[in-house]
Structure 1
Amino acid sequence: MREAGRGLAAAAAALLAMVMVAAAGLALLGAGRTGGFGALTAAVVALAAGGTAEVGAAPAGGLPVVVRGDLHLLPLGVSLAGAAVLAGVLLRRRENGLLVRGAAAAAGLAMGLSAFAFAARGKLALPGSVTTAGCVRNGVSPRLPGSGGLDAGFSVAAGPAVAGAVAGTVVVVGTCLLGTRFPVVTSSLRALRWPAAGLAVLCLAAAWIFGGAPAAAVVLLALPQLVCGAVTLGLGVPWTTTGLLSCAPDLSPGGPASWVAAAVLLACGVAARSRRPGDPLRRAVASAVRLGPVVGAVIAVVTLLSRASVDITVSAFGLSLPVFDARLTANPLLALVAGVVGGAVAGFAGSLLADGISVSSRAWKR
């Protein structure tokens, strides 16, 4: 019973972390100005577990027209906060019982996320004459009806959120078990935590300085997607947009993304270098072998989870007309291969660079 209680406490801590990140992001976006801040926060938390948001709107004038929309999007910044806290609390006790704690955490998260999905229902104040101008091809610019504004409501399906919570907990517990059985995995993950924290702080600061509060909110809610997108593009993995979107930024490989990918991977290579005594070349090879699979797996998983889609239809008199359809995807298998190669190169180069800096430092001290 004690281990089960610790598992429930880990689930509660993970949910609290997710709520704090989601609320901070929404506050930076100014989402609480029209009310319903609690419901929106619950919606973001449920989306972070894999829930699907559904929006329905009707003209305030009473016309027999209904606008329906589905949003599939994972705010991975919220998801990562919950996963990190969950893993940290589960691993605080090194003795046996991790499976019991993990099972209790899965049950607790499932119940908690179902409650959040149930609470993620509210009203949205949308302006009238909403259009998709500027984001469609071939001059198509559908205008959503309603001269007096739209009365809109939103909800989140509980089933996908609960399933995502259980699946995510299984992944976290499996990673914890892998770390306890193979210390090299634990050392690699621990070595990457400080570069990851530094990168997060740097991105938040840069977003706040150059883009203000809204940009900082986007970074807070979706930092893993942004970093993964930049790294994959720099490694030559394209992201494709389908549907009516044309206002999306350039997502073709190369360009500034190459420099971002090189800087991020090299920093990971320096942080995760092997510290075993011996020949520097052998240490560099060991770092490459250790870092490559880790980077490849992380990039592939984040690429898979970063897929997004939006579907909007207008229904009137028994007829449905799709007015907006967009997809954002990338090939996770290609991302896996590119991540393994890029991570191995970064591990090799980072180890040699760290050894060179160490030798230079000792020379200056003389």
Structure 2
Amino acid sequence: MAAWRDVLRGAAAAVAALAGMAAVATAGLALLDAGRIGGFGGLTAAVVALAVGGSAEFDAVRAGDLPLVVRGGVGVVPLGVTLVGTVVLGWLLLRHRDRLLVRGAAAAVTFLAGVVAVVAAARGAVTLPGGGAALPGGAAAGGGSGVCGLPEVGPFGRGGSVGALDVGFSVPLWPTLAGAVAWVCAVVGLCWLVVRFRIAVRGALWVVGGLSAVCLLAAWAAGGAMAVGGVLLVLPLVVFGVLSLGLGVPWAVRSDGPLSCVLDGVAPPAPGGSLTWVASAVLLVLGIVVALAGARDGGPLRRAARDGAVTSAVVGVPLGVLALRAGVSVELGVGAFGFSFPLLEAWAATNPLAALGMGCAGGAAAGFAGSLLVRGALRWASVSWPAWRNRSGR
């Protein structure tokens, strides 16, 4: 009977995680006013599918004399949606610490079944506004060469200028399921580590929640509702980019194909610089939180080394995992008469091993320094407070 209760709890945790992800995706798209370009349900399902590791495929056909189809794909993870699903699933699985693997297995099966339903719903069409825009392979109306020096007669006609364009989108099932399996196994494995080594995560959740609230308020003040919608979907990606660059981890932008020249001169920010100070401040705050939540036994250097090791793992492992998920890829091609012609393949990513190594090193230094700061502050308070009370009592 207890085992069945845990099975139901695991299934409920998976349903709650999917519901939380859908809620965040819906809120972000609503703030971005995405309903004006396409069906809201299909777009929401597509964002959730992307959040668990899927990719979106699209195609556009122009009615005309030539049977030309523009096809492509976009791979980007809305990590804000992923983070909410991770927190909800992990928190519900950890509410009862015994029989964790039973609840985790039930959650995995239920979550994968839910992902199948999400992929089935993640299809539809969006209407892109035109108004004289130039498309790849065509210049603005009036003559001249097109993009990258190609002739102005593109796949959508001379001049490349079109009105509103309907673009169909869908999400492939098997790659999305593979990403979902990896994600849910990672969450269950993280929960097992928390239970096995009695890791306190409440402080880290408070730090994440506080940082998210500050960023959302700043986005509202700077750009209004649409800025909040964008931050809600990609905030962890922005934070990861700042931390990785601040720790000296470089990003790379690569492209291939006839239209690769459109990315000439496009490069990510250089690592280091002012971002180093931002990353150092964030990691030091995290090191202080770890020191406050850690054990008090042992000498100062021993405690500092232990807090440094914990902070190293807390920073390095997530950065390494995020580096695997934070890449962005775009593919674009043209199909005609049964043939396919690639036009552009572009991607931006960073090295996961470099992110893991630099994250571990930066986290260890921040944890060590934060522990010494906390112990020094506590020692100073223990000495100064009784002296102050004696003076004030006279």
TM-score (ref. length: structure 1): 0.91
Which amino acid counterpart does residue 204 of structure 2 have in structure 1?
L
Structure 2 equivalent of residue 170 of structure 1: 185
Asked if the contact 1:50–1:161 (Cα under 8 Å) also holds between the matched residues in 2, the reply is yes
Asked if the contact 1:57–1:68 (Cα under 8 Å) also holds between the matched residues in 2, the reply is yes
The offset of 1:260, in angstroms, is 1.7
Which amino acid counterpart does residue 272 of structure 1 have in structure 2?
V
The offset of 1:72, in angstroms, is 1.2
Query: Do structure 1's residue 296 and structure 2's residue 304 form an aligned pair?
Result: no
Asked if the contact 2:251–2:268 (Cα under 8 Å) also holds between the matched residues in 1, the reply is no
Structure 1 stretches lacking a partner, 5+ long: none
Of 203-212 and 17-26, more deviation after overlay is shown by 203-212
Distance 1:310 1:342, change over 3 A: same
The offset of 1:157, in angstroms, is 1.0
Which amino acid counterpart does residue 124 of structure 2 have in structure 1?
G
Give the match's secondary structure for 2:148: coil
Structure 1 equivalent of residue 281 of structure 2: 263
Which amino acid counterpart does residue 184 of structure 2 have in structure 1?
T
Query: Do structure 1's residue 145 and structure 2's residue 156 form an aligned pair?
Result: yes
One of 62, 86, 104 as aligned partner of 1:102: 104
Distance 1:55 1:276, change over 3 A: same
The offset of 1:218, in angstroms, is 2.4
Give the match's secondary structure for 2:271: coil
One of 17, 21, 24 as aligned partner of 2:20: 17
Structure 2 equivalent of residue 115 of structure 1: 117
Q: Distance in 2 between matches of 1:195 and 1:148?
A: 47
Q: Distance in 1 between matches of 2:104 and 2:181?
A: 10
Q: Distance in 2 between matches of 1:66 and 1:253?
A: 40
One of 330, 336, 340 as aligned partner of 1:310: 330
Structure 1 equivalent of residue 170 of structure 2: 155
Distance 1:281 1:144, change over 3 A: farther
Q: Distance in 2 between matches of 1:364 and 1:132?
A: 71
Structure 2 equivalent of residue 237 of structure 1: 249
The offset of 1:303, in angstroms, is 0.9
Query: Do structure 1's residue 321 and structure 2's residue 362 form an aligned pair?
Result: no
Asked if the contact 2:253–2:268 (Cα under 8 Å) also holds between the matched residues in 1, the reply is no
Which amino acid counterpart does residue 177 of structure 1 have in structure 2?
W
Asked if the contact 1:77–1:220 (Cα under 8 Å) also holds between the matched residues in 2, the reply is yes
Give the match's secondary structure for 1:192: helix
Structure 2 equivalent of residue 41 of structure 1: 44
Query: Do structure 1's residue 227 and structure 2's residue 239 form an aligned pair?
Result: yes
After superposition, the C-alpha distances for 1:35-64 in whole angstroms (9 at most, x for unaligned) are: 401110000001111112100101144641
Asked if the contact 1:292–1:344 (Cα under 8 Å) also holds between the matched residues in 2, the reply is yes
Structure 2 equivalent of residue 87 of structure 1: 90
Asked if the contact 1:225–1:303 (Cα under 8 Å) also holds between the matched residues in 2, the reply is no
Structure 2 equivalent of residue 31 of structure 1: 34
Asked if the contact 2:245–2:271 (Cα under 8 Å) also holds between the matched residues in 1, the reply is yes
Q: Distance in 1 between matches of 2:285 and 2:223?
A: 25
Which amino acid counterpart does residue 351 of structure 2 have in structure 1?
N
Give the match's secondary structure for 1:140: helix
Which amino acid counterpart does residue 183 of structure 2 have in structure 1?
G
Which amino acid counterpart does residue 156 of structure 2 have in structure 1?
P
TM-score (ref. length: structure 2): 0.84
Instruction: Say how many residue pairs are matched.
Output: 358
Q: Distance in 2 between matches of 1:125 and 1:319?
A: 26
Structure 1 equivalent of residue 140 of structure 2: none
Which amino acid counterpart does residue 193 of structure 2 have in structure 1?
L
Asked if the contact 2:119–2:172 (Cα under 8 Å) also holds between the matched residues in 1, the reply is yes
Distance 1:364 1:130, change over 3 A: farther
The offset of 1:286, in angstroms, is 1.7
Structure 1 equivalent of residue 290 of structure 2: 272
Backbone CA RMSD of aligned residues? 2.3
Structure 2 stretches lacking a partner, 5+ long: 138-145, 389-394
Asked if the contact 1:60–1:150 (Cα under 8 Å) also holds between the matched residues in 2, the reply is no
The offset of 1:212, in angstroms, is 2.8
Distance 1:248 1:257, change over 3 A: farther
Asked if the contact 2:68–2:155 (Cα under 8 Å) also holds between the matched residues in 1, the reply is no
Structure 2 equivalent of residue 125 of structure 1: 127
Distance 1:211 1:91, change over 3 A: same
Q: Distance in 2 between matches of 1:130 and 1:325?
A: 19
Larger Rg, first or second structure (1 or 2):
2
After superposition, the C-alpha distances for 1:118-150 in whole angstroms (9 at most, x for unaligned) are: 0011111013335469xxxx9727766263432
Asked if the contact 1:60–1:149 (Cα under 8 Å) also holds between the matched residues in 2, the reply is no
Which amino acid counterpart does residue 24 of structure 1 have in structure 2?
A
Give the match's secondary structure for 2:371: helix
